[in-house]
Amino acid sequence: MVHRRKSIVAGSFYDANKESLSQQINNCFLHEIGPQGLPEHGKNVQNKRNIKGVISPHAGFIFSGPIAAHHFLRLSYEKTPQTIIIIGPNHRGLGKEIAIMSTGYWETPLGNIEIDEQLAKEIINYDDKHLIKEDAQAHAFEHSIEVQLPFLQFIYPQNQFKIIPICISNQQLVKMNYLADTIFMATKEKSCLLIASSDFTHYESQESAKRKDAEAIDKIINMDSKLFYDTIRRNGASICGPGPIAMVIEVCKKLGINRGKLLKYATSGDVSGMNDQVVGYASIIFE
Q: Where are the domains of the chain?
A: 52-286
Q: How far apart, in whole angstroms, are the C-alpha atoms of residue 159 and residue 146?
A: 15
Question: Which helix or strand (DSSP H or E) is residue 249 part of?
Answer: helix 242-254
Q: How far apart, in whole angstroms, are the C-alpha atoms of residue 96 and residue 90?
A: 10
pLDDT > 90 fraction of the chain, expressed in percent and rounded: 84
Summarised one tens digit per residue, pLDDT across range 153-178 is: 999 988 689 999 999 999 899 999 99
Mean pLDDT taken over the chain: 94
Check residue 1 and give its pLDDT: 60
Summarised one tens digit per residue, pLDDT across range 198-221 is: 999 999 999 999 999 999 999 999
* Cβ partners under 8 Å of residue 101, min gap 6: 3, 5, 115, 120, 134, 135, 136, 139, 164, 165
Whether 267 contacts 206, CB under 8 Å? yes
What class does CATH assign to 52-286? Answer: alpha beta
Summarised one tens digit per residue, pLDDT across range 13-23 is: 999 999 999 99
Q: How far is CA 148 from CA 58, 125, 181, in A?
A: 7, 26, 24
pLDDT > 70 fraction of the chain, expressed in percent and rounded: 98
- Burial, 82: exposed, middle or buried (Cβ in 10 Å; 0-12, 13-18, 19+)? middle
| Residue whose C-alpha is closest to residue 187's, from 248, 103, 98 | 248
Q: C-alpha angle 55/58/64, rounded to 5°?
A: 95
Q: How far apart, in whole angstroms, are the C-alpha atoms of residue 270 and residue 67?
A: 11
Q: DSSP letters along 193-219, please?
A: EEEEE---SEEE-HHHHHHHHHHHHHH
Angle between helices 173-187 and 225-235 (to 10 degrees): 150
Summarised one tens digit per residue, pLDDT across range 33-68 is: 999 999 987 666 667 899 999 999 999 999 999 999
| pLDDT at 126 exceeding the cut of 90 | yes
Lowest mean pLDDT, pick from 28-32, 43-47, 190-194, 261-265: 43-47
Whether 56 contacts 265, CB under 8 Å? no
